[in-house]
Amino acid sequence: MNRMTRDKAMQYAKYRLPFSIEASKYVIDIANVSEGVVADIGAGTGLLTKHFVGNVKKVFVIEPDFEMRELAKELIGEREDVEFQDGLAENTNLLAHSIDLIVAANAYHRFHPESTIKEFKRILKPNGMLAVFSYYDDSNFFRDTLRVCNDEQYVKRLTESRHIKPVQYFYGDSTPNRYLFKQEHNETWDEYWGAVISSMESPDEREE
């Protein structure tokens, strides 16, 4: 996986699509964690994290990339109820049975499923919950741009994904619930292209 530059991390924070505030509030309510501890795994620049800060007792922001983690600190600010840590989904460095709710946004496809499942079970409290956030681009512009460019890392990651596995492979006997929250987002060409080149797999301008 490529490391993020400061400039690319800033593009990521500025141009990536926003996550639904309504969805975040719903998860806080259904998980009953207004007085609980939440871990945002693969938090990036805090695009999802910010919806939980101030709405739960404490948030652990787990992000392995230095530039993204440092930018998240700047954007969210120093707070007693937020702790930023270097860690992976497979090795969060969090205490066992210390987390009421794990949230993960668009980094989840980068997690190694078997190791991540083991780690999540270790850090979750009994009856703890996992919520995965994503967004569906009904025009598929973002996906198609990367495919047309035939970016080798992007194609490789898609082919190595476990999307063909049945859901029971990940969840055992428990079937996850899926909730959809509609939101509209209009963007200029510069905003769209800014999101494309903020990807870890996208080349920097200095690259051939």
Q: Express each pLDDT in 115-154 by its tens digit.
A: 999 999 999 999 999 999 988 766 666 667 766 665 676 6
| Mean pLDDT, range 157-184, rounded to an integer | 76
| Mean pLDDT, range 27-55, rounded to an integer | 97
Q: Which of 80, 78, 88 is nearest to 112 (CA)?
A: 88
Higher pLDDT, 169 or 153: 169
Q: Where are the alpha helices (DSSP H) in the chain?
A: 6-15, 21-31, 66-76, 113-123, 141-148, 152-159, 168-171, 189-197
Average pLDDT value over all residues in the chain: 88
Q: Burial-class residue 194 by CB neighbours within 10 Å (0-12, 13-18, 19+).
A: middle
User: Alpha-carbon distance 24 to 19, whole Å?
Assistant: 8
Give the Cβ contact number of residue 43 at 10 Å.
Answer: 29
Does the pLDDT of residue 30 top 70, yes or no?
Answer: yes
Which residues face 37 on adjacent strands?
Answer: 58
Does the pLDDT of residue 196 top 70, yes or no?
Answer: yes
* pLDDT for the residue 141: 67
Provide the domain count of the chain.
Answer: 1
* pLDDT for the residue 146: 65
* pLDDT for the residue 1: 52
pLDDT in tens, 55-87: 999 999 999 999 999 999 999 999 999 999 999
* pLDDT for the residue 46: 97
Does the pLDDT of residue 162 top 70, yes or no?
Answer: no
* pLDDT for the residue 192: 84
User: Alpha-carbon distance 38 to 194, whole Å?
Assistant: 30
Q: Burial-class residue 45 by CB neighbours within 10 Å (0-12, 13-18, 19+).
A: buried
Per-residue confidence at 108, pLDDT binned at 50, 70, 90?
Answer: confident
User: Alpha-carbon distance 31 to 155, whole Å?
Assistant: 35
Full residue range of the structural domain in which residue 101 is found: 21-138
User: Alpha-carbon distance 120 to 174, whole Å?
Assistant: 15
Domain presence at residue 16:
no
CATH code of the domain in which 46 resides: 3.40.50.150
Domain presence at residue 11:
no
Task: Please calculate the CA angle 123-109-180 and round it to the nearest 5 degrees.
Answer: 90
Domain presence at residue 206:
no
Higher pLDDT, 110 or 13: 13
Domain presence at residue 153:
no
User: Alpha-carbon distance 59 to 139, whole Å?
Assistant: 33
Domain presence at residue 47:
yes
Domain presence at residue 45:
yes
* pLDDT for the residue 158: 62
Does the pLDDT of residue 35 top 80, yes or no?
Answer: yes
Residues 78, 48: contact at Cβ < 8 Å? no
- Whole-model pTM? 0.88
58-86 per-residue burial string, b: 16 or more CB within 10 A, e: under 16 = bbbbbbbbebbbebbbeebeeeeebebee
Higher pLDDT, 109 or 88: 88
Domain presence at residue 78:
yes
